[in-house]
Structure 1
Amino acid sequence: MRFAGICGILASLAWLIGDILLLGKPMASPDRYPILHAYSGVTGDSLAAMLPASTTRLAWGALLGVLTGPLYLAACWHLYRGLRPARPLLSLPPFLLLATGFVLAPFVHGSFYYWGQAAKAIHDSGATSATLLALPGDFATVLFIAYALLLVCWLTASLWMAVAILRGTTSFPRWMCAANPAVCVLVGQLLAQGIPGPVGIPLQGAQLSLANLLFFTLTTATLWNAHRRRAASTTPGDHARSCR
């Protein structure tokens, strides 16, 4: 269980580096990249960060997330073990919902490479075709559908997990109900947007990875300490009976 929790921490670090490579460049101006005039909001900001990046940078940014995605599934099992003392109705759904979100996540993360490369190719070609200019927007629509479903899974799992922990039948201390994935996402967003200057720019697109790093660090530490306390309170006779 400890190793599975560490898998979540390692995956979060890999995804954090991947986010920095994908979206951690200073945003380009529409004066230099006229294609940006066609987009606004999150789409425009994401493309403005990716257009100045090299193909190699974008490729490694995507691959770091996709190739370490299975580590997140191990981390979900770690959470299930922490919730499992509760009855299945409380422990199983959060595990399945979080696992579903982490199955979708590599698609979302890896798609940023193709999205950025498409925008770069259109800009480099100097094309003014409405069909080509619409292509990055079409990519964004598909990407954000999966992204929205991922967030719905995490939000629902967070509420379920909070209820299970509050009932006091899991291995987590009750205060962990306030450190669920949804709350950690808010904290990650505050960190990514609240750090000013050159230090904050690389983190501008890393909210979810920061959230996962915080979340799995907390769950690993609390379950590690809980196991240590149980081991310390177990008498030699109890240990012998449990072995039998």
Structure 2
Amino acid sequence: MVDKVVVAGLIGLGAAILVGTGEFLLHFNMTGYSSKIPYHFFLDISRKRLIWGHFIAVLAAPFYLVGFWHLYQMLLPSGGKLPAAVALLAGYGFIMGTVWIGSRALIATIVQANTPENHELIASYQLYNESLLQVIRVTTLLMSAGFVYLVLRGATFYPTWMWICNPFFILLAVFLIYFFWPGIGKFIMPIAMNVTYTLFFALSTYYAFHRQAEL
């Protein structure tokens, strides 16, 4: 019988890969992201890329929540309310992230239109939508702290060393790769959070499968 926790982990992994693919189509620019002009990198993104990237990312993003149910199940043996709090924090952050990713094609279209109202429109976008990105970063930090605490206690389905592979540390590693090796980092920086969860769900699903095989 196929284990539901393993399947949920695979769904979360698939969501991370698909959302990452969509976000890569929306964001990746070979010239980089160092321009002082807001969202300047969108000028080189074709309409076809915007359409494909938008729908792939937005339609796949809700399946992240299945992955966080998987996370909850992997933490559940520790007992108490913290496993649920960790999963709910992660899920809440990614709901905000879905709203944010759903707005990227729109801001790209605004930037490419280059109308006299662009300055005000971009400022409004930064207030209403870009601020949501900070929510997912904060929730990732908080849920990672809870994850580390639970795993170090040794009462989860994860090996104790897995604490170091918490999402915040993986995300930090992505930023460091971009800083020290920009030639490589520029390919993963635009999809940093999805790279983070691709690695995290891959490891988590492996241990869920390993646990099931031992039963």
Q: Equivalent of 2:112, from 120, 125, 128? A: 120
Cα drift, residue 113 of structure 1 = 0.7
> How many angstroms apart in 2 are the aligned matches of 1:201 and 1:164?
33
The answer to whether the 8 Å contact 2:22/2:52 transfers is yes
> Which aligned pairs between 1:61-72 and structure 2 lie closer than 5 A?
61-72=53-64
Give the equivalent residue in structure 2 for 1:140. 126
> How many angstroms apart in 1 are the aligned matches of 2:82 and 2:186?
40
Q: Equivalent of 1:17, from 21, 24, 49? A: 21
Cα drift, residue 81 of structure 1 = 0.6
> Which aligned pairs between 1:67-78 and structure 2 lie closer than 5 A?
67-78=59-70
Cα drift, residue 106 of structure 1 = 1.1
The answer to whether the 8 Å contact 1:94/1:160 transfers is yes
Task: Return the letter of the residue paired with 2:132.
Answer: A
Aligned pair in 2 of structure 1 residues 207, 88: CA closer, same or farther (>3 Å)?
Answer: same
Counting aligned pairs with the same residue, the percent is 26
Task: Return the letter of the residue paired with 2:67.
Answer: A
Give the equivalent residue in structure 2 for 1:238. none
**Highest CA radius of gyration, 1 or 2?**
1
| In the alignment, structure 1 residue 3 sits paired with structure 2 residue 11 | no
> How many angstroms apart in 2 are the aligned matches of 1:148 and 1:28?
22
Q: Equivalent of 2:172, from 186, 194, 200? A: 186
SS in 1 for 2:204: helix
Is there any run of 5+ residues in structure 1 with no aligned partner, and where? 31-35, 232-244
Cα drift, residue 196 of structure 1 = 4.8
Aligned pair in 2 of structure 1 residues 158, 204: CA closer, same or farther (>3 Å)?
Answer: closer
Is there any run of 5+ residues in structure 2 with no aligned partner, and where? none
Cα drift, residue 74 of structure 1 = 0.6
The answer to whether the 8 Å contact 1:26/1:49 transfers is no
Cα drift, residue 121 of structure 1 = 0.9
> Which aligned pairs between 1:166-177 and structure 2 lie closer than 5 A?
166-177=152-163
Cα drift, residue 200 of structure 1 = 5.0
SS in 1 for 2:15: helix
Cα drift, residue 145 of structure 1 = 1.6
> How many angstroms apart in 2 are the aligned matches of 1:9 and 1:164?
22
| In the alignment, structure 1 residue 207 sits paired with structure 2 residue 199 | no
SS in 2 for 1:68: helix
Give the equivalent residue in structure 2 for 1:218. 203
> How many angstroms apart in 2 are the aligned matches of 1:72 and 1:205?
18
TM-score normalised by the chain length of structure 1: 0.79
Aligned pair in 2 of structure 1 residues 178, 14: CA closer, same or farther (>3 Å)?
Answer: same
Give the equivalent residue in structure 2 for 1:80. 72
Cα drift, residue 29 of structure 1 = 10
TM-score normalised by the chain length of structure 2: 0.89
Task: Return the letter of the residue paired with 1:185.
Answer: L
| In the alignment, structure 1 residue 158 sits paired with structure 2 residue 150 | no
Aligned pair in 2 of structure 1 residues 160, 29: CA closer, same or farther (>3 Å)?
Answer: closer
Alpha-carbon RMSD across the aligned residues, in angstroms, is: 2.2
Task: Return the letter of the residue paired with 2:130.
Answer: F
